[in-house]
Structure 1
Amino acid sequence: MKNAFFALLISGLTLFSCGLKQNVGASAEDKGWKQLFNGKDINDWFVKIYHHEVGENFGNTFRVEDSIIKIRYDQYDDFNDQFGHLYYKTPYSYYHLKFEYRFVGKLQKGAPSYTLLNSGVMFHSQDPRTMLKEQDWPISIEMQLLAGLGDGKPRPTGNMCSPGTNVVYQGKIAADHCINSSSKTYDGEQWVKGELIVLGDSLIKHIINGDTVLQYSKPQIGGGVANGYDPKIKVDGKLLSSGFIALQSEGQPVDFKNIRIKDLSKLKK
């Protein structure tokens, strides 16, 4: 009886200790994170939409409802290639970014077919105030976000695309504009957790629902795809060690929430 009592007591203390460690760990993990989106408005963000001047939120494309940044096109007619981006006001260099996204609704009339269930988070982007009115894409790196098309075919998310840029992948400059990740396919209107770990102009990691799905290095200006830019901005071969973070609008309604960042500048060598 006495032995059983002590065994029960030790078991209880062990469980309490484990729970305490978990709580301490969770508390420590939360330290250092900054909310980029306050859940109320986008006053700390800039809008730049193709065919429009910086600061013009054409058609109320980027809006806040229910503590969510919603990207919508209900005030558009034809999409007319009005690709847009919502930029946080401060550039970053070494950081860990976390966010959640989901696709909703139908592709806007006139949007390119490749933008179906397609969006992205741009980073190491040029300052939107340096973009010309008729510049379609910012010179930047993109964490491309995709959803499955419901046809049973794989369609990974957390890929890399490179408007006006290049990256080093598997030891050499990537030949393609986009590199697929190893992620699962996520169908339907479900929330997916995305993360970026960016270490200046060295290592970059893409994480989806806790799994590292892609990594590469040496982001730099170069390549094509971006058009209508100021030639002084596009200095091919220049390494990108910092830049702006932006949410993308390209014809597919999409939601973003819980956008936060942790500064990793202490890892600079």
Structure 2
Amino acid sequence: MSDKGLNHDGTITREGVLDRVPEAFAPVVAAARDQITETFVSARLHSAYLYGSIPRGTAVAGVSDLDLLLALHNEPTEADRAEAETIEAALDHSFPQINGVGILLFSSRTLLSELERHDLGFFVACLCTPLLGSDLAEQLPRYCPTALLARETNGDLALALPRWRTRAAEAVTDAERKVLSRGVARRLVRTGFTLIMPRWGGWTSDLGQSAELFGRYYPERTQQMRVAAATGRSPSADPAVLTLLIDDLAPWLAAEYTAVHGEKALRP
């Protein structure tokens, strides 16, 4: 793998492996595997994946969350989502080394669809680590850091802005503002990175590196992106931080993204 996260043929290297899971998180992953197996029997579950800092080997005990994706044979139902929430709560309660659990649910049909080929398909093939079942990446292409990939992964930032503004206006506790600031900041850093990804010619999921790479191409926005990266790692309850991210950096980034890469294909 190159220092740009690429294979020798220029395609993006899958970033996580189970062997990189830090020792402190091994019991968490084992329990997640067991609970998913017990809850989503093979007739419902096609495969399960880890993603995020734990399979990348960069997780910090007491700070990092556990991120999972389940590919079901059929479209997820409300019952499926309720059972996933039960697993989330049980794992979060049982393991103090994780700070929250998130489980995404999709059908294998959706993940392999042409519409999602350069968004969710890329996510599974390059950013997810197989945990259970047959790996859907075997049915997906190899990906390069192209403008098409940039457009389809993050070319819809503008759609998030009204929702973020509403949540910011309605947030009344520090806890609510911290949750919002973390999610907004991470989305902005990832969008900022994919904006410049084709020009840089590589891939990274590291927030700090993403912000610094972005700054090479947009030096006038470097400090704002550094604030976003720091907030993505350590959420802030400061309303001024939310204002900077949502009302200043985000609208500019959405407009620049559309100008450079175009808008993401509409979903139903």
TM-score computed with the length of structure 1 as normaliser: 0.26
For the pair shown, which has the larger CA radius of gyration, 1 or 2? 1
Q: Which has the higher contact order (CA 8 A, sep 6+)?
A: 1
Name the one with the larger helix percent.
2
Name the one with the larger strand percent.
1
